[in-house]
Each structure stands twice: as C-alpha cells, then as structure tokens.
C-alpha cells in the first residue's frame, strides 16, 4: 500500500498581534469565519458568548475592515495571517491531515499520479482553501491544479 501525506493544517483563532492570548478573551467579540457552524459549536462548548460572522474568502481582511475583532480560519504556514498583521492564539480548534492511500494491486496510472501531484502541491500551496456553501463541516484544503 502506498500512502502520500497530502496536506496538514490547523484551524485556529487569530487576531491583531498582541491583542488576544486565549479564546476566553473573545467573550462579547465578533469572530469572522467561513466555518460558522464549527466555530459556533466550539464557542458554545467553551461557554464563550461571541458573535460569529460568516464570510467567504479574505477572512484576514475582516478585522482591518471593522467587520470582526478576531477570525477563525485554516492555517498551514501562517504566512498569510502574518502578512495581515495577525497572529494565532490559543490551542488549535482542530487539526487536519489529508491522505491519499492506494489499494494494493492497483496500478500507478497517469491519473493517479496527477492526483497525487495535485494533492502534494496543495500541501505546499499558500492559497486559500475553497469554501463550502453551507458554512458547516470541517476545514478542507483545496487542490493546487498547477500540478507542481
């Protein structure tokens, strides 16, 4: 059996550098995310009363635009957040890893190799993951279709 480790990421809260140190400080604040159900459930479990603002794309800019006080988003390298003047705080809300596993006896066809390259490229990509329309579910990494 052949396994490729495709993508590792964490789902974190982030805010302006130096402003937050723990999720408890989100009490009464606005948190922007593309994963509103996941964040809402996490905050409820932690007994933190915060407003969850559902957005698609460019979540990092929501603080600068006054839409939110903090964000919750998928973090792979942290470069995009740092470039926006943000830092993660608290423990990860969740960790995820995508794997591609090939069944024994299955030939390495061209399409399987292309899929593996795309998934490996996704783990090196600094682009944003696709957002589902429902706002629920787990964070997922998108594929980089350049086939690096």
Query: Does 135 have pLDDT greater than 50?
Result: no
The two three-digit tokens of residue 43, written as one number = 């905050």
Is pLDDT larger for residue 72 or for residue 122?
A: 72
pLDDT digit string, tens, across residues 20-78: 999 999 999 999 999 999 999 999 999 999 999 999 988 999 999 999 999 999 988 88
Give the residue carrying structure tokens 């969740």: 94
Report the residue count for the chain. 148
CA dist., res. 127 & res. 113, Å (int) = 22
> pLDDT tens for residues 32-46?
999 999 999 999 999
Burial call 72-92: b when 16+ CB within 10 Å, e when fewer: bbbbbeeebbeebebbbbbee
pLDDT in the model for residue 70: 98
As a whole number of Å, the CA-based R_g of the chain is 17
């Amino acid at each position: 059996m052949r396994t490729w480790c495709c993508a590792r990421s964490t789902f974190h809260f982030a805010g302006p550098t130096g402003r937050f140190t723990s999720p408890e400080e989100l009490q009464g604040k606005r948190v922007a995310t593309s994963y509103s159900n996941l964040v809402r459930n996490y905050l409820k479990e932690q007994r933190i009363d915060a407003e969850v603002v559902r957005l698609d794309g460019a979540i990092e800019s929501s603080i600068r635009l006054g839409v939110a006080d903090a964000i919750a988003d998928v973090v792979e390298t942290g470069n995009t957040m740092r470039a926006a003047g943000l830092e993660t705080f608290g423990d990860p809300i969740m960790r995820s890893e995508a794997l591609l596993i090939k069944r024994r006896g299955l030939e390495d066809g061209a399409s399987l190799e292309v899929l593996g390259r795309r998934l490996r490229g996704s783990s090196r990509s600094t682009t944003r993951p696709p957002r589902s329309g429902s706002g629920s579910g787990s964070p997922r990494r998108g594929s980089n279709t350049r086939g690096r």
